[in-house]
Amino acid sequence: MCLAIPGKILSITDEDDDLLRTARVSFGGIVKEISLAGVPEAKLGDYVIVHAGFALAQLDEQEAQQVFTTLRQMEQ
């Protein structure tokens, strides 16, 4: 279920209403207009994970390294 992929926020529309806020999000150079209604904190340059035109969550750079850190620890 629920194909969702990470993309980078290139620009954000100027909207007072959080529900109508959208961003141009780049997926490896492919750009789509994506709703930011689910991630009101998201800023320019942030990575968000997107499903069906809707940003579900912001990606956490630090947590993203966790898999590799754990892997190194487990191998010791």
Partner 1 sequence: MTDDINTVIEPGLVRPVIEPALVCPAPINQHSQILLAHGGGGRLMQQLLDTVFLPAFANPLLNARHDSAVIEFGTTRLAFTTDSYVVQPLFFPGGDIGSLAVNGTINDLAMCGARPLFLSAGFIIEEGLPMETLQRVVTSMRHAAHAAGVTIVTGDTKVVDKGKGDGLFINTAGIGIIEHTLRIAPGTVQSGDAILLSGDIGRHGIAIMAMREGLNFESTIESDCAALAAPVLELIQAGIDIHCLRDLTRGGLAAALIEIAEAACLQIDIEESLIPVVQEVQGACELLGLDPLHVANEGRFVAFIPAGQVNQTLDILRRHPLGQEACLIGHAQHGTAGRVTLQTRIGVQRIVDRLSGEQLPRIC
Partner 2 sequence: MKFVDEYRDKDAAARMAAVIAQVTTRPWTIMEICGGQTHAIVKYGVDQLLPDAITLVHGPGCPVCVTPVELIDKALEIAALPEVIFCSFGDMLRVPGSHRDLLTVKANGGDVRIVYAPLDAVKLAQRHPEKQVVFFAVGFETTAPATALAVLQASRLNITNFSMLVAHVCVPPAIVTILSAQHNQVQGFLAAGHVCTVMGYTEYEPLAQRYRTPIIVTGFEPLDILHGIYLCVKQLEEGRASVENQYARAVRREGSGEAQQLITEVFEVTPRQWRGLGAIADSGLGLRERYAGFDALRRFGAAASGATTPTECISGLVLQGIKKPQECPAFGKRCTPEQPLGAPMVSSEGACAAYYRYRRQPPHSRPTLQETNP
Among 13, 15, 27, 64, binds partner 1 (CB under 8 A): 27
Residue 28 interacting with partner 1 (CB under 8 A): yes
Residue 15 interacting with partner 2 (CB under 8 A): no
The DSSP string of the chain is ----EEEEEEEE---SSGGG-EEEEEETTEEEEEE-TT-TT--TT-EEEEETTEEEEE--HHHHTHHHHHHHHHH-
Residue numbers of the site for partner 2 (CB under 8 A)?
A: 1-6, 8, 18-20, 27-28, 32, 35, 37-40, 47, 49, 51-54, 56-57, 59-61, 63-64, 66-68, 70-71, 74-75
